[in-house]
Amino acid sequence: MWIIAIICIYFAILMLISKLTQRRADNQTFFRAERRSPWYMVAFGMIGASISGVTFVSVPGMVLSSQMTYLQTCLGFILGYLVVAFVLLPVYYRLNLISIYTYLGQRLGHRSYQTGAWFFLLSKLVGAAVKFYVVCIVLQQFVFDDLGVPFVVSVLGMALLIWLYTRKGGVRTLVFTDTFQTVCLFSALLLIIYIAMGQMDYSLVDAYHAVSSDERSRVFVLDDWTSPRYFWKQFLSGAFIVIVMTGLDQDMMQKNLTCRTLREAQKDMCSYGLAFVPVNLLFLALGVLLAQLFEAQGISFPVKGDELLPLFVEGNHSPHISHLLPLIFTLGIVAASFSSADSALTSLTTSYCVDIRNKPHDEQLRKRSHIVICLLFAVMIILFQMLNSKSLIDAIYTIVSYTYGPLLGLFAFGLFTKKQVRDKWVPLVCVASPFICYGIDLVAQTLWDYHFGYELLMLNGLLTFLGLCLLIRSAECQSPS
């Protein structure tokens, strides 16, 4: 009952914030927040929006298999955010864009524009649904099963709640709700760390020394270039992940484009870009502390790292915190997952109305589209649960990861060349590139036992870029200038 009370209070606050921020309920507010968002609120809220519920659960468990090497990727994030701030944002602000994919239409042509928008719509809808599915399973296990609430009802209810507090204010509401949800997320994370430290009788200094001296706290891999955790692979991949999955993603860019000026948007981008290293360091440090706690108590590690934090919450029987810990965990995962899902659904509505239907001023279309997209989101999650196949979920994640490569190639070609392409063939290149990339990955595994990691994104983008070079109008392919 306490968990339900916490969830009800949480959503009551979200609804109150939504009510207070709905000064106007038109498309200008829903899509762009009238470009009046304070940059520091956008920056703080974007930290929470970028950390999904899957991240909240998964990152602590990474230390069991890959130590703290994920921080190498986070260091690459900083470089990526600088590129987004000083290369992409000036273009978006100069063109006064609502949807960033409008740039592709102005630069390369209508087919290129539609291709970029459809790649975003399909990959974001599936990716957001997969992420939220994982969270729904955890909440079902911790909360709704005990209450006898069916999975279908809980999913539809959560999708309804997202629609309720975003249906009028859109991105304007999200700027403020993200700030609140980020506070909840960090509060939950710090409280769980505090509880883990308390169970091991650690002071803050003791915890620092325990984590830093643990072999699982290794960050850098500089001696094995074939390893997927090799520093330069992860660093460069981290940079490209941010460029593509933030700078070329309507979901991540829409709130940044609500700042008053380019200068403020750049401050926002750089601020929350720098924050990712200490934030993920906290998650990984929690993973090390939990691993030490399990060892001290003689508890076997879970088979999968994703289960480390939930196992700690579920299996904790301390009389002082046995009821408190699930409350904190639920608050953290709800804050992380909803700040990610509400942002995705709002950006999908924006892209559909602006890019696909080309009706940025049609309020009735926006309202209908938002409802339909929320329902599609819920239906996809329910289908995942009905199929009940973990391998299917892994496959979907892999497919989604391929779909961002063509966006990288499209934007790179547009930004770094001045050439025009045969626009009608662009969709073929963008569809073919992921399949060719997949074939190269299979060949590399078979012939050289080399497994591509995050660098697949760069390869995919390069293949798209080269394919566009073949489509240059009456000219030979030239190097980008």
Q: Which residues pair with 259 in a beta bridge?
A: 37
What pLDDT score was predicted for residue 476? 47
Among 388, 403, 430, where does a domain finish?
Answer: 388
Residue 349: the pLDDT is 93
How far is residue 45 from each of residues 51, 194, 252, 268, 388, measured CA to CA in Å? 10, 23, 11, 10, 33
Task: Based on the fold, state whether residues 299 and 399 are members of the same structural domain.
Answer: no
Question: Is 440 found in the same domain as 377?
Answer: no
In a shared domain, residues 396 and 375: no
Is the same domain home to 449 and 363? no
Is the pLDDT confidence value at 228 over 80? no
Tallying the residues shown for the chain, one arrives at 481
Residue 110 belongs to what domain range?
2-388
Average of per-residue pLDDT across 78-94: 95
Q: What pLDDT was estimated at residue 393?
A: 52
Quick one: what percent of the chain has pLDDT higher than 90? 43
pLDDT above 60: residue 87 = yes
Per-residue pLDDT, averaged over 294-321, amounts to 80
CATH number, domain with residue 262: 1.20.1730.10
End of a domain among 334, 356, 388? 388
Q: Which of 366, 388, 410 is the last residue of a domain?
A: 388
pLDDT at 319: 58
Residue 454 shares a structural domain with residue 324: no
pLDDT of 382-416, one tens digit each? Answer: 988 887 665 555 556 567 678 888 999 999 999 99
Task: Tell me which of 126-135, 144-153, 339-348 is least confident.
Answer: 126-135
Is the Cβ–Cβ distance between 326 and 313 less than 8 Å? yes
Alpha helices in 167-261 (DSSP H): 171-199, 204-213, 231-242, 250-256
**pLDDT above 80 for 28:** no
The answer to whether residues 352 and 376 belong to one domain is yes
Q: What is the pLDDT of residue 334?
A: 83
Is residue 221's pLDDT more than 80? Answer: yes
pLDDT at residue number 479: 47
pLDDT at position 191 over 70? yes
Cβ proximity of 288 and 63 under 8 Å: yes
User: Is pLDDT above 60 for 477?
Assistant: no
User: What are the φ/ψ torsions at residue 472 (nearest 5 degrees)?
Assistant: -60, 135
What amino acid occupies position 188?
A
pLDDT, averaged across the chain: 86
pLDDT at position 314 is: 79
pLDDT at 194 over 70: yes
Task: Determine the Cα angle at 128 with ends 127 and 129, to 5°.
Answer: 90
Say if residue 405 is in the same domain as residue 328. no
Structural domain count, the chain:
2
Residue 133 confidence (pLDDT): 84
Same structural domain for residues 291 and 359? yes
**Confidence category of residue 106, pLDDT binned at 50, 70, 90:** very high
Q: How many CA atoms lie within 13 Å of 164's alpha carbon, on the beta-carbon side? A: 13
> In terms of pTM, does the model score above 0.95?
no
Is 343 a residue whose pLDDT tops 80? Answer: yes
pLDDT > 80? residue 455: no
Output the pLDDT for position 294. Answer: 92
**DSSP characters over 52-81:** -HHHHHHGGGGHHHHTTTHHHHHHHHHHHH
**Based on the domain organization, do 309 and 379 belong to the same domain?**
yes
Assess whether 354 and 463 both reside in one domain: no
Could you tell me if 216 and 365 lie in one domain?
A: yes
pLDDT at residue 20 tops 90: no
Is the same domain home to 109 and 97?
A: yes
pLDDT for res 470: 93
